[in-house]
Chains A and B, each alone.
Chain A
């Protein structure tokens, strides 16, 4: 039975001049009830699928039944003849392509000439109710001319034709190569060399809330799309582009969501088609995806094959580390270019390595597109690295916990690939889990069938660059203070369940000395709120948080001046707290917050202020160095204890100790919730989750289909499968974070799969170099003479010429020595 234990909080002693550390807080750091909790537990929160309008029509998509084919004809005659059907839309209506990344504008809202996977939408039927729309979609007839299916990265490499997309090289979407120093040279001089192949299977987000969209024209004819999206701003751009409307004529609203995990971070075809359908029919149009369709939307974890080669000195210090990755991208670009870079970008930020070499290649295949899932592109190489370190330590007879502590990157470093890291709580995290788990006394001594494994990791607090190149803020917050003492905050951030609304209210309340519950929020609305780029890359707390503090401090300054005048003191002496504004040297003297607002408004007009945040420019200047930089990095470590049955291969996690470097926890209950949720998701990936495909028998068209696009077939741990999780928070305030806070939404997932695989080795002496670690693979490893189950090698990939970027300590300046000439900056340039 799942249970959660408070492992406690470790506070790293303050450094001199660390102001954030010295503050005392009213609300920050307290286990206060979340501002959105009431609506969630009473069922009053209105998710996208709860929305409904009078006269609303329903839409269903006709999806491709073949994985790769040219569309010869779409015949809607029978569908249109069905009573209740109001419109049928096809690819003809959607000639303008879109995509989340400027470099991969390769989707059409409905397929125009080709379908690229089973589930690709070909037509949309709009009808008076959902059943009629479904029946109408069934009646749409599509004639296909089948094309050879590309089922795997190997097939994509082997078959440049037929090309799934008209860009890229054959079916290679994109490949990159970087040399940060001479790695082959370093490896040649190494005392020991380790070479391993790993595979990390794809899996999907599985949010409880299925995607839903309601599109309508408001009373002024403004096209409004309310949708379960993590990125209303990017949807806004894509929808206006495809629909040919000026952005000012489109409004996107993101209601609260029942989980996203990256699965709602692309602009989706159904959102844009619903918008078009509303324009065509003049009626509100709703679409609520089925669970099966959510598996088709996907954008989940890329299956990644990896080869890692590492040279170490006699003490195990990494002299050179080489990573090659091959990604199965699925049928569209999505975030794939970024995902590919991420399979290499964060390899350097945990342990010291002198030189680093990275090769990455993403292929197109005829499957639902892969994209960003919690940890975006980094859990796969993290698995390989942490398992390989375990092997290095085994061979050299070093305690793997000790190795990690000894080799941790020191704070305020620039890594071999030019990632600038500030505070690093890695060692404190490792020490916390080592101590609590009894690592030193218990590892290797639990008897056959029981074992302990350790791993650590790091994640970004927001991407250093926006998705499309621009010089504007990544997040903006607007505040309106009313005469009654109310505070209303406007921000484009989207509450996907992670608690962003709570962070927004909390930080503003902290600065202004009011209660979080007194701050009213208007979020995720492109017509009403300043832009926040969205709930992705763990950016919200840091970026929205800094913008919120910026705005709140401006409001506070105005109130302080007005109050100071009344109190006859300098503004610096004005304090805020408990709903009052007062003289800090005589706290009994002061006024209510409302009175201070009235005074400020009387003196200087309406109290409305804005704040914004843009990350500092990163030192990486080479092409491709735009993926990976972040204002700050969080760190995590975990020890997993397993019971492994050598007759069945079943692995059961018994207990997990996890520590997370949060900088400062704004709300410890919410932070622990994210840590435990990440552990749960990491366990699902480690043990069972697979977005897997099979070919139907030839008499059923040989189509490449999902093996089980349902919650009955897709395996994910249940409450009863969860072991006890003991969670430790390491607090070492990060100067670039809001009151020192870092991210927690993604990082704690990362150490779980490798720690589990390492624990299986401790329990049974076998290596499973693949995720998920299924019982069958454990049995295969037990039977194999090598005591290992995993990929036998790595495919031959035609790598491009490598960019030669010397690491900082080899005299580099962040540029490549052989940088190809860059095209002049376009209005919507590309970075990377």
Chain B
């Protein structure tokens, strides 16, 4: 790992300012993705700007018909939050199954979204619930945020401050966890709510994506067996020693049915 300077700014403005001034600087959330990436030599930022503890990124509240989660909230905090459990229990459950206890105690919502690992769990929730990603300068709709394999709409010096999740009528997440990391080999989030019926798949492809055929089927009838006739193509899906593209396609069907059944 290369040497770097560490910054702990007092507020959001100062953090953005540091990021703008130093082009090789990067925001640091819980470090659960960035530090491993740096250890592998895949990133070598000159400066790390710690943002997870900033007051502007903290807090969880219900605001009208939306649940607002601060980008600096850790996975464990989201999993344990009474507000989240009440408003969107599926989101609390999802957060509670990310990685292991150490990862959940450090990793943050903002970091997970900015990193956009193709097998991460949160992107499925953000996309299926039709959430809005709020940054220091704008609001980005979920459908515009994810751009495939580690790519998002964020600018290099842009900081995610919170995520606004419309509270759904029904939602559930089912994942087939990678046995070592617990990342999603395939994870499917289904939701029925203000944004309509949405099905988001993570882990299976180069980035999180919506499954239109399933959305149509569930739009017609919200029941696990409504998915019976939906064929999932293996084309374009990930393949690795733990699961071929065909197997992942099969799992998308299984996980979607389980999620719908769990959502009730």
CB of A715 closer than 8 Å to a CB of B: yes
Expressed in whole angstroms, the Cα–Cα distance for A774 and B178 within the complex equals 11
Q: Which of A357-365, A634-642, A706-714 contacts B (4 or more CB under 8 A)?
A: A706-714
Contact of A776 with B243 in the complex, beta carbons under 8 Å:
yes
Is there an interface contact between B241 and A779, defined as CB atoms closer than 8 Å?
Answer: no
- C-alpha spacing A688/B185, complex, angstroms: 14
CB interface residues, B 167-186, toward A, < 8 Å: 176, 178-181
CB <8 Å contact, A707 and B36 = no
Bound form: Cα–Cα A774–B241 in Å = 10
A648 touches B178 (CB 8 A): no
0 or 1 for each of B98-113: is its CB under 8 Å from A? (1 = yes): 0010000000000000
CB-contact partner of B181 in A647, A692, A712, A721, under 8 A: A712
Contact residues, B107-161 vs A (CB, 8 A): none
Smallest Cβ distance from A473 to chain B, in angstroms? 43
Residue of B nearest to A690 (CB): B241
A692 partner, pick from B178, B179, B241, beta carbons under 8 A: B241
Complex CA distance for A714 and B180, rounded to whole angstroms: 7
Say yes or no: B247 contacts A779, CB within 8 Å.
yes
Interface check B244, CB cutoff 8 A: yes
CA distance A710 to B42 in the complex (A): 14
Chain B residue nearest to A777 in the complex (CB): B247
User: Are B36 and A715 in contact, with the CB atoms below 8 A?
Assistant: no
Q: State how many angstroms separate the Cβ of B85 from the closest Cβ of chain A.
A: 22
Please give, as numbers and ranges, the residues of chain A lying within 8 Å of B251 by CB-CB distance: 648
A800 → chain B closest CB, angstroms: 34
The complex places the Cα of A816 from the Cα of B250 at a distance, in Å, of 55
Contacts of A647 in B (CB 8 A): 254
B244 lies within 8 A of A776 (CB)? yes
Q: How far is the CA of A286 from the CA of B33 in the complex (A)?
A: 29
- Judge whether B242 and A715 touch: CB under 8 Å: yes
Closest to B36 in A: A712
Quick check: is A449 within 8 A (CB to CB) of the other chain? no
Chain A nearest CB: distance from B106 CB in Å? 15
**Interface range, A side:** 20 to 34
CB of B240 within 8 A of CB of A707, answer yes
In the bound complex, what is the Cα–Cα distance between A688 and B241 (angstroms)?
Answer: 10
A527 at interface, CB cutoff 8 A: no
Q: How far is the CA of A110 from the CA of B88 in the complex (A)?
A: 58
Report chain A residues within 8 Å CB of B240. Answer: 707
Asked if A687 CB lies within 8 Å of chain B CBs, one says yes
Q: Is the CB of B180 within 8 A of A716?
A: yes
Contact residues of B: prevailing secondary structure: loop
Q: Which residues of A contact B2 (CB under 8 A)?
A: 131
| Complex Cα–Cα for A777 and B241 (A) | 11
The distance from the CB of A707 to the nearest CB of chain B, in whole angstroms, is 6
Q: If A690-B241, A774-B242 touch, does A715 touch B254 (CB 8 Å cutoff)? A: no
Q: Residue on B with the closest CB to A710?
A: B40
- CB <8 Å contact, B180 and A711: yes
| Closest chain A residue, CB of each to CB of B251 | A648
CB under 8 Å from chain B, chain A span 696-721: 707, 710-718, 721
Contact with A along B225-253 (1 / 0, CB 8 A): 00000000000000011111001001100
Interchain CA distance A12-B188 in the complex, whole Å: 55
* Distance, CA A647 to CA B257, complexed state (A): 11
With A647-B254, A648-B254: A715-B180 Cβ-Cβ less than 8 Å = yes
Instruction: Tell me the minimal C-beta distance from B27 to chain A in angstroms.
Output: 22
Q: How far is the CA of A33 from the CA of B2 in the complex (A)?
A: 44
Residue in A690, A711, A715, A776 whose Cβ sees the most chain B Cβ within 10 Å: A776
Do residues B247 and A776 form an inter-chain contact, with CB atoms below 8 A? yes
Which chain B residues numbered 52 to 109 have a C-beta less than 8 Å away from chain A? 100
Residues of A within 8 A of B181 (CB): 712-713
**B179/A717 in contact, CB under 8 A:** yes
Residues of B within 8 A of A775 (CB): 176, 243, 247
- Minimum CB–CB distance from B107 to chain A (whole Å) comes to 14
Question: Which residues of chain A are near B178, meaning CB under 8 Å?
Answer: 715
Chain B positions within 8 Å of A707 at CB level: 240-241
Q: B250 contacts which chain A residues (CB < 8 A)?
A: 779
Chain B residue at minimal CB-CB distance from A687:
B179
Q: Which of A635-659 contact B (CB under 8 A)?
A: 647-648, 650
Residues in B neighbouring A692, C-beta threshold 8 A: 241
Closest residue of B by beta carbon distance from A691: B241
In contact, B247 and A713 (Cβ under 8 angstroms): no
A712-B36, A712-B181, A779-B250 are known contacts. Are A648 and B176 too (CB-CB below 8 A)? yes
* Contact between A713 and B254, CB atoms less than 8 A apart: no
CB distance from A168 to the nearest CB of B (A): 29
Closest to A292 in B: B40
> Which of A714, A717, A774, A775 counts the most B-chain CB atoms under 10 A from its CB?
A775
| Closest partner residue, chain B, to A649 (CB atom) | B247
User: In the complex the two chains form, what is the Cα distance from A455 to B228 in whole Å?
Assistant: 39
Interchain nearest-CB distance for B63 vs A (Å) = 36
In the assembled complex, the Cα of A367 lies from the Cα of B241 at a distance in Å of 17
For the complex formed, measure the closest distance between the CB of A154 and the CB atoms of chain B, giving whole angstroms.
18
Q: Which residues of A contact B179 (CB under 8 A)?
A: 687-688, 715, 717, 721
Which A residue sits closest to B240, measured CB to CB?
A707
Most buried by A among B178, B241, B242, B251: B241
CA distance A707 to B242 in the complex (A): 11
Q: How far is the CA of A650 from the CA of B244 in the complex (A)?
A: 15
Question: Chain B residues near A690 (CB, 8 Å)?
Answer: 241
Q: What's the Cα separation between A717 and B178 when bound, in Å?
A: 11
Assembled-state Cα–Cα distance A711/B36 (Å): 11
Chain B positions within 8 Å of A688 at CB level:
179-180, 242
Distance of A247 from chain B, by nearest CB (Å): 40
Q: A621 to B248, alpha carbons, bound, how many Å?
A: 54
Q: Of residues 22 to 52 in B, which have CB atoms within 8 Å of A's CB atoms?
A: 36, 40
Give every chain A residue within 8 A of B244 (Cβ-Cβ). Answer: 776
B residues in contact with A721, CB < 8 Å: 179
Cα-based distance from A688 to B181 in the complex (angstroms) = 12
**Cα(A93)–Cα(B243), bound, Å:** 45
Contacts of B243 in A (CB 8 A): 774-776
Q: List 25 A-B contacts (CB under 8 A).
A: A131-B3, A647-B254, A648-B176, A648-B254, A650-B176, A688-B180, A690-B241, A694-B241, A711-B180, A712-B180, A712-B181, A713-B180, A713-B181, A714-B180, A715-B178, A715-B242, A716-B180, A718-B100, A774-B243, A775-B176, A775-B243, A775-B247, A776-B243, A776-B244, A776-B247
Top-4 shortest CB links A-B: A715-B180, A776-B247, A692-B241, A715-B179
Extra A-B contacts (15), CB below 8 Å, given A687-B179, A718-B180: A131-B3, A647-B254, A648-B176, A648-B251, A650-B176, A688-B180, A711-B180, A712-B36, A713-B181, A715-B178, A715-B179, A721-B179, A776-B242, A776-B247, A779-B250
Q: Which residues of B contact A (CB under 8 A)?
A: 2-3, 36, 40, 100, 176, 178-181, 240-244, 247, 250-251, 254
